[in-house]
Amino acid sequence: MGFSTFEERKKDAATISPRMFMLNLSDGDMTQFTRLAEEYGTTPEEILQGFICDLVDGSQTNGSDERLFAEQYLDRCRINF
């Protein structure tokens, strides 16, 4: 996964555009998530974007530790998917 060169990462970043996913969340979970995002001065969308980019070693990764923890999260939760 991921990109091997800065140029590949830069080229991919140029393709950033809105994407849509449908999530099944309770009202309470959505409220909690929105509040959490607000506490950190961000949005739910930005949190999910960051997580996805870290998980796939994408064009906007937050760093090696974040990539590691995103992968560990997926590995630990895989049985629940």
Residue 65 lies in a domain: yes
Residue 74 lies in a domain: yes
Which tens digit of pLDDT belongs to each residue from 7-61?
Answer: 888 898 899 999 999 999 999 999 999 999 999 999 999 999 999 999 999 888 8
Can you give the pTM of this predicted structure? 0.82
The phi and psi torsions of 74 (rounded to 5 degrees) equal -65, -45
Residue 70 lies in a domain: yes
Q: What is the DSSP letter of 51?
A: H
Per the structure, the count of domains in the chain is 1
Write down the pLDDT at residue 4: 72
Residue 13 lies in a domain: no
> What separation, in Å, do the N-terminal and C-terminal C-alpha atoms of the chain show?
21
Provide the residue range defining the domain that includes 54. 41-81
